[in-house]
Structures are given as C-alpha cells and as structure tokens.
Amino acid sequence: MFFCLLAACAASCAACSAEGKCDTCKTGFIVKSDKSACLACAANCAACSAEGKCDTCKAGFIVKSDNTGCVECPTGCAVCSLSADGTSATCVSGKCKLRYIQDTTDLGCKPCPVDCVSCYLEGETAKCAVDGCNDLFIQDSSDASCAGQCLHFSVHFKFFYSTVSSPL
C-alpha cells in the first residue's frame, strides 16, 4: 500500500504545484520569489505586480505616486486625484457622491442634511435644494429642511390601519 502525501498550499495561494509551491495567489497577494507563499499587497491595494508595489487600489482609494500603497479618497467623494506631493487625495471637481455637495474652497464633499437628496452650500452650511427631499418627506419652507413624513402617505396609512384593525 502506497500513500502519496501532497504538501498543503499556503492559505493565500490560489493554486500550487504538487511540491506545495505557490503558482498563483488570491486577489490582493503576490507570489513570493521562492514560491513558498504569497505576500500581501500594501493595505487597500487590490493588485500588485511586485513586492511593495501597488498597481490598483480598492474602491474609495487611489494609488500613491510612488506606487508603494494607496491613499483614501475624501469622505463623500466619488472620484479623487492625488495632491501635488502624491501623499494625499482631493476630490475631482463636480465628483461628489449622491447626497453630498462640493465645497469650492477646498473641493471637499459635505453631506447634505438628513433626508435630503440634493443640496447647496450657504456659507459653510449645506441646505436642502428646492424639491430636494427624499420621497415621503416634505420641505419646510422656513429653513429648507426635510421634515416629517408626507401627509398624503400618513392619511392613507392611518385609514388602512384603522380599517384593517376594526372589529367586524
């Protein structure tokens, strides 16, 4: 009776040879030069081509200018670019995520008020745009905030609830 013992692959290997050598690695890893294991790419790096070098980053990050890692995009930013020194990121003009508004002074993205889909800046304060409230909310004309649920929906809900729960 003969038994063939195969060496186990390292956890980060996607495929390895019979000798236990890593042939390919899982996403976010690169094969070590001696093929004994896979090395992790830099933090938040989606793919790297050489040890310590990042080619692409995970969503919400951008590759540093020296390719040694990733820089996080500013909060609320959909598309960012590297700063001149290559160590930080700024939001590309007009590229804030939904429910954010871009501050033209620093290109940062400020969140819109709660229950508001689109907004504008008044000084440093984000205000809900006309007709910018989420569905089921109405705009308060005094301060442009989105307050309370839509009365039409509430009336129908109360009518339905009272009709369903009333005794026969």
Give 67-117 as a DSSP string.
SSSEEEPPTTBSSEEE-TTSSSEEEPTT-BPTTEEE-TTT--EEEPPTTBS
Among 12-21, 75-84, 93-102, which stretch is predicted with the lowest mean pLDDT?
Answer: 12-21
The mean pLDDT value for 49-78 works out to 90
Cβ neighbours of residue 119 closer than 8 Å, sequence gap 6 or more = 99, 101, 112, 113, 126, 127, 128, 129, 132
Q: How confident is the model at residue 97 (pLDDT cuts 50, 70, 90)?
A: very high
Q: Where are the domains of the chain?
A: 113-159
pTM for this entry? 0.65
Q: What is the pLDDT of residue 160?
A: 44
Residue 30: phi and psi, rounded to 5, are -135, 145
Look at residue 50 in the predicted model and tell me its pLDDT.
81
Residue 75: per-residue pLDDT:
93
Q: pLDDT at residue 157 above 50?
A: no
pLDDT at 134 over 90: no
Note the pLDDT of residue 95. Answer: 92
Output the pLDDT for position 21. 85
Mean pLDDT, range 48-53, rounded to an integer? 83
Q: Report the pLDDT value the prediction gives residue 148, as an integer from 0 to 100.
A: 66
| Residue 164 pLDDT exceeds 60 | no
Query: What pLDDT, on a 0 to 100 scale, did the predictor assign at position 126?
Result: 87
**pLDDT reading at 94 higher than 50:** yes
